[in-house]
């Protein structure tokens, strides 16, 4: 049996991963669960899966659980507990599905503890792609992508020579505002943004999908996962979300992975790789599809994608700045402090203020992230005055 730790077990990816594991209880055992502050759901997960250890990052939530829990699972607290969960000696594979930059340190710790990684936290590679991939090679650790787009590329590359890739084509649904102009998006609400047409995801990633920041993060992630230059990574808007991504090879052949928009499939594949397991997920019936359509992304009304490419090509600490500024801006928007269009302004102004470090180590990346959050917060405060 594979011994699995899930970091971010109460989030969208974490809960779906646990449904996959519950359906394959003869193959997987949960060793560790970690969540931010949802002690009620974590307690239910502990009761069902009986992990060796469980972590609540938020101290108040952890204190409440410690005071009420009477089971055998060891309850840990904060970042120290998170790192213990990431490196627990019985674990084979760590599924990292924490939101944002918070996933970087535990992922690095897990790699150094020689745990294989099922990566759902794209920000880890956005902020520190070169460092993380070098560590994975040094410690002989596999990184299997959980994102549907990167899983699609990963699957298309099975048995293929990476040196024969001409370009990677990442598909994008276009989000809830596909086809709208900047003026038409000026007064959109939080509820409008959270109505993704195809996918059921967490609040932060759903906002990122609405701005196309998420696709920008995926471009940077793809560069590090597959070792392809930015000039060989394209984005194609595919509103049906049936083709999850494609590879064009040097002979002109294009290979695509198709499936229903259901995150459980890439989660299961990341956990079972190199095997495929039977599933009861909804199946794609091609005869019911009236059309599969494709278009260029609209980078005039959705400039985040160009900003992401720019950050990636500059390299160094700039992708970390792009990510941190976006995190601050998204949560400011979700808290009603700024408007939807202000998210991009926060990212742009923060990137413009940054003094680049070209070959950062983990400590410098951590410092750059902290600087960017303060700088982005200042931009948010300035926007509130306007």
Q: Which residues are annotated as a binding site?
A: 10-13, 38, 121-123, 147-149, 173, 196, 202, 209, 214-215, 218
Tokens of 40: 């009620």
Q: Which backbone phi and psi does 147 adopt, to 5 degrees?
A: -50, 140
Residue written as token pair 């340190």: 105
Whole-number Cα distances in Å, 282 to 86, 169, 263, 265, 286: 32, 25, 11, 10, 13
Strand 28-35 versus strand 143-145 pairing type: unpaired
- Residue ranges of the annotated binding site for 1-deoxy-D-xylulose 5-phosphate are 122, 148-149, 173, 196, 209, 214-215, 218
Element (H, E) at 207: helix 203-211
What single-letter DSSP state applies at residue 195? -
Angstrom distance (rounded) from CA 320 to CA 93? 26
DSSP single-letter state for residue 297: -
First to last CA, the chain: 57
State the residue for tokens 């928007």. 333
Cα 333-338-341 angle, rounded to 5 deg = 85
Q: Which residue, 373, 328, 367, 376, is CA-closest to 348?
A: 376
In eight-state DSSP terms, residue 282 is P
Q: Is the peptide bond between 353 and the residue preceding it cis, with omega within 30 degrees of 0?
A: no
List binding-site positions for Mn(2+). Answer: 147, 149, 218
d(CA 84, CA 361): 22
Binding-site sequence positions for NADPH: 10-13, 38, 121, 123, 202
Q: Specify whether the CB–CB gap between 13 and 267 falls below 8 A.
A: yes
């Amino acid at each position: 049996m594979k011994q699995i730790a899930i970091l971010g077990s109460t989030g969208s990816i974490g809960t779906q991963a646990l449904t996959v594991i519950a359906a394959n209880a003869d193959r997987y055992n949960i060793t560790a669960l970690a969540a931010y502050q949802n002690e009620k759901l974590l307690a239910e997960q502990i009761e069902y899966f009986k992990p060796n250890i469980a972590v609540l990052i938020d101290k108040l939530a952890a204190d409440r659980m410690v005071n009420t829990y009477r089971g055998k699972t060891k309850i840990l607290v904060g970042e120290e507990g998170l790192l213990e969960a990431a490196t627990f000696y019985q674990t084979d594979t760590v599924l990292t599905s924490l939101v944002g930059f918070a996933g970087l340190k535990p992922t690095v710790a897990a790699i150094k503890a020689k745990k294989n990684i099922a990566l759902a936290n794209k920000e880890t590679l956005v902020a520190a792609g070169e460092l993380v991939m070098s560590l994975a090679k040094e410690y002989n650790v596999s990184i299997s992508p959980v994102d549907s787009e990167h899983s699609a590329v990963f699957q298309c590359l099975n048995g293929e020579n990476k040196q024969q890739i001409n370009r990677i084509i990442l598909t994008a649904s276009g989000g809830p505002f596909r086809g709208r102009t900047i003026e038409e998006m000026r007064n959109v609400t939080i509820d409008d943004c959270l109505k993704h047409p195809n996918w059921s995801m967490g609040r932060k990633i759903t906002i990122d999908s609405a701005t196309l920041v998420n696709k920008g993060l995926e471009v940077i992630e793809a560069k590090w996962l597959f070792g392809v230059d930015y000039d060989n990574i394209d984005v194609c808007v595919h509103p049906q979300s049936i083709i999850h991504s494609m590879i064009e090879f040097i002979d002109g052949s294009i290979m695509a992975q198709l499936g229903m928009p259901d995150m459980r499939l890439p989660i299961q594949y990341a956990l079972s790789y190199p095997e495929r397991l039977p599933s009861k997920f909804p199946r794609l019936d091609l005869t019911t599809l009236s059309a599969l359509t494709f278009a260029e992304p609209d980078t005039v009304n959705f400039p985040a994608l160009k900003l992401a490419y720019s950050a990636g090509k500059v390299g160094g600490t700039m992708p970390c700045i792009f990510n941190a500024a976006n995190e601050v801006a998204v949560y400011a928007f979700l808290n009603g402090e700024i408007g939807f269009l202000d998210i991009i302004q926060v990212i742009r102004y923060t990137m413009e203020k940054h003094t680049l470090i070209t070959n950062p180590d983990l400590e410098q990346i951590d410092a750059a992230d902290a600087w960017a959050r303060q700088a982005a917060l200042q931009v948010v405060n300035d926007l509130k005055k306007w």
